[in-house]
Amino acid sequence: MAELDSDKGIGLIRRVKRGQGLPTLIYVMNFIDVEEQASLQEPENEAEPESDSTEESDLEADLEAESAEETTGVVLSDVFAVHLAGGQADSIMGHLGMARNSDCARVAVVIALSDYMAPTEDEAYFRVWEALNATLTAQAESGAAAANCVFTDGTITVWI
């Protein structure tokens, strides 16, 4: 694969390292000839839109497509959710100077895994991790010295 890489090879692929135990992303670059690409993208009849309402309806269609993409996909598996609520939460809390305490009694947030669906499980994991990190960071900044994270029934509950 090195011969295809943009750093060492011909530039057909680009690797992006993500860290945090997440796999490296590999992007396949566009290798179609510029003239060929133009002929594929542009219709032979180039007509101007009749009004601004066409542009607005195109924008609405794009927004609907984006929201449909956001609501379909992969939900994070229970195995990874347990890992996030356990070891990853401990790591985040340790970094923030917080401790895990099972005596915490007030619910700070409930993270429903179904709210963080993504095209891949890796991306779903990252989205849930971001939500968990943001929640714990906000609690630490507000003065919380301890928290508890528990995974049950498709949700991660953060207690303070």
- In-domain check, residue 64: no
User: What is the helix (H) or strand (E) element at residue 80, kind and residue range?
Assistant: helix 78-83
> What is the per-residue pLDDT across 97-152, written as a single tens digit (0 to 9) for each?
999 998 988 898 999 998 888 898 888 899 999 999 999 999 999 999 999 999 99
- In-domain check, residue 6: yes
Mean pLDDT value of segment 40-63:
60
Judged against a pLDDT cut of 90, whether residue 74 lies above it is answered with no
- Going by DSSP bridges, is the β-strand pair 155-159/146-152 parallel, antiparallel, or unpaired? antiparallel
Nearest to 101 by CA among 92, 90, 109: 90
- What is the number of domains present in the chain? 2
**Residue span of the structural domain in which 13 resides:** 1-45
Q: Dump the DSSP string for 124-160.
A: HHHHHHHHHHHHHHHHHHTT--EEEEEEETTEEEEE-
Mean pLDDT value of segment 54-64:
65
Q: Global pTM? A: 0.55
- In-domain check, residue 128: yes
Please, which pLDDT band fits residue 25 given cuts at 50, 70 and 90? confident
